[in-house]
């Protein structure tokens, strides 16, 4: 299993805290947004005498409620299409193990959520990546770039929309291009849509479950973690209309017995969250995004596309090695008693060199903290001994040069 680029520097952060430094955690998608009050009210009022197992596929009342939520968003599913899982992570594991055998392959646009690679490796599945570029905001690569990667062992294409780690929001047109490719080669299209509530600038998400004629090919992954700021609840869902896939996945669900009962109660309560909650959260994230992205782009040599969704952005830094820089920021640097923790981006790439000078930054802290974090980073780059004098080379040029090598 590969180490997590999100958590691998935690020992250095903990050491910095013991030295009295304030560490701005921009490395992990743990929002400081409050969990909806209806969740806490429901949990405090829970008065069952025995905390029982739930059904392996999840509580029926929760699945019905979740189906109603999707229907309200124009996604045509019912409770029988939904398998409740222990977080979106388990939904991904169930999906990979249900659709692929050891030695099979999955194609994923990179940079991608690092655990996709870990989950695939744990199942003996090979990840083949097609690279997206910072120059165009990490848009979907050309379909022509996917075709040469498809072999007899290819079983699926996997995406995240809106994307972690880039914040890119795939358009309906891009998803339809993937649909045509998937149908042509009879593959699965697996879409992680856990950030669907967080899209900005008037943009709207388009679910893969709305692609026509794809009922047997589409699997959607979801979670309560980010939508309701309930990361610790560990409740997710695998949604598909493919009965054979569901019947296979339920075997994995039965083997782990059931998803957590009390967390499902919390997830069902969260479905009653008023729209005003999301309106306020989205407004807050837009402010945070703009402060962070504008601040990053104001630093000499830093490049950061403006994301349309989720609460992450990818930034390219004028440094020799982003992981070395991130560790140096925690071990050697402080500015007004503070420092910044970021996730080195090499771990979000199959081709690690492409992310060697990039970091993923999560705008999950309040605006004042983000402003100060940007200033910490600005000062850190001034002092870092591995600063590049010539600035940052285009990612596309790096790839081209490596191809020639």
Q: Do the strands 338-341 and 22-25 form a parallel or antiparallel pair, or are they unpaired?
A: parallel
pLDDT tens, position by position, 89-144: 999 999 999 999 999 999 999 999 999 999 999 999 999 999 999 999 999 999 99
CA distance 192 to 155: 17
Q: What values do phi and psi take at 127, rounded to 5?
A: -90, 130
Nearest to 319 by CA among 362, 380, 397: 380
At 262, is the secondary structure helix, strand, or coil? helix
Expressed as residue numbers, the domain containing 346 is 10-34+276-404
In a domain, 39, yes or no: no
Q: How many whole angstroms from its chain centre is CA 26? A: 14
Enter the tokens of residue 121. Answer: 């490796």
What CATH number is associated with residue 329?
3.90.1150.10
pLDDT tens, position by position, 304-335: 999 999 999 999 999 999 999 999 999 999 99
Q: Is the pTM of this model over 0.85?
A: yes
In a domain, 43, yes or no: no
Confidence of residue 391 (pLDDT cuts 50, 70, 90): very low
Are 136 and 73 part of one and the same domain?
A: yes
Are 166 and 310 part of one and the same domain?
A: no
Are 138 and 167 part of one and the same domain?
A: yes
- The pLDDT of residue 196: 96
Q: Which of 231-235, 331-335, 394-398 has the lowest mean pLDDT?
A: 394-398
Confidence of residue 394 (pLDDT cuts 50, 70, 90): low
Q: How many whole angstroms from its chain centre is CA 179? A: 21
In a domain, 176, yes or no: yes
> Mean pLDDT, the chain, as a whole number?
94
Are 200 and 322 part of one and the same domain?
A: no
Of 249, 270, 291, the domain-final residue: 270
What CATH number is associated with residue 188?
3.40.640.10
Q: Which of 6-15, 36-45, 117-126 has the lowest mean pLDDT?
A: 6-15
Total tally of structural domains belonging to the chain: 2
Whether cis (ω within 30° of 0) applies to the bond prior to 41 is no
Are 398 and 309 part of one and the same domain?
A: yes
Are 214 and 154 part of one and the same domain?
A: yes
Q: What mean pLDDT comes out for the span 211-217?
A: 94
Q: What mean pLDDT comes out for the span 375-402?
A: 73
- The pLDDT of residue 3: 77
At 350, is the secondary structure helix, strand, or coil? coil
Contact at 8 Å (CB) between 358 and 320? no
Are 96 and 244 part of one and the same domain?
A: yes
In a domain, 104, yes or no: yes
In a domain, 296, yes or no: yes
Place of tokens 């990546």: 129
In a domain, 5, yes or no: no
Enter the tokens of residue 150. Answer: 């498809």
Q: How many whole angstroms from its chain centre is CA 217? A: 22
Contact at 8 Å (CB) between 330 and 13? yes
Exposure of 159 in the CB half-sphere (CA atoms within 13 A): 30
In a domain, 2, yes or no: no
Confidence of residue 400 (pLDDT cuts 50, 70, 90): very low
In a domain, 95, yes or no: yes
- The pLDDT of residue 6: 78
């Amino acid at each position: 299993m590969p180490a997590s680029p999100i958590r691998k520097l935690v020992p250095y952060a903990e050491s910095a805290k013991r030295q009295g430094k304030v560490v701005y955690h921009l490395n992990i998608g743990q929002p400081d947004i409050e969990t909806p009050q209806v969740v806490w009210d429901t949990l405090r009022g829970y008065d069952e005498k025995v905390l029982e197992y739930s059904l392996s596929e999840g509580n029926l009342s929760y699945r019905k409620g979740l189906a109603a939520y999707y229907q309200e968003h124009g996604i045509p599913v019912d409770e029988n299409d939904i398998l409740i899982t222990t977080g979106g992570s388990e939904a991904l594991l169930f999906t990979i193990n249900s659709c692929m055998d050891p030695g099979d392959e999955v194609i994923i646009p990179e940079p991608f959520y690092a655990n996709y690679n870990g989950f695939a490796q744990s199942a003996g599945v090979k990840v083949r990546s097609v690279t997206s570029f910072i120059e165009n905001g990490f848009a979907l690569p050309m379909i022509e770039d996917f075709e040469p990667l498809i072999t007899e062992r290819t079983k699926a294409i996997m995406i995240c929309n809106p994307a972690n780690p880039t914040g890119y929001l795939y358009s309906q047109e891009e998803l339809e291009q993937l649909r045509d490719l998937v149908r042509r080669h009879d593959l699965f299209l697996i879409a992680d849509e856990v950030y669907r509530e967080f899209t900005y600038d008037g943009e709207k998400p388009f679910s893969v479950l709305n692609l026509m004629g794809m009922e047997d090919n589409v699997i959607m992954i979801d979670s309560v973690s980010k939508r309701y700021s309930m990361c610790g609840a560990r409740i997710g869902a695998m949604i598909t209309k493919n009965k054979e896939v569901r019947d296979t996945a339920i075997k994995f669900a039965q083997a782990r017995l059931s998803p957590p009962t009390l967390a499902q109660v919390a997830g069902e309560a969260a479905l009653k969250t008023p729209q005003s909650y999301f309106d306020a959260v989205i407004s807050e994230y837009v402010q945070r995004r703009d402060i962070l992205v504008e601040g990053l782009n104001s630093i000499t040599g830093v490049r950061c596309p403006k994301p349309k969704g989720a609460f992450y952005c990818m930034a390219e830094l004028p440094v020799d090695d982003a992981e070395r820089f991130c560790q140096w920021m925690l071990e050697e640097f402080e500015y007004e008693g503070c420092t910044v923790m970021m996730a080195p981006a090499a771990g979000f790439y199959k081709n690690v060199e492409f992310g060697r000078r990039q970091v993923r930054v999560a705008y999950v802290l309040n605006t004042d903290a983000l402003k100060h974090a940007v200033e910490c980073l600005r000062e850190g780059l001034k002092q870092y001994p591995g600063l590049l004098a010539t600035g940052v080379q285009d990612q596309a040029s790096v790839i081209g040069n490596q191809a020639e090598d």
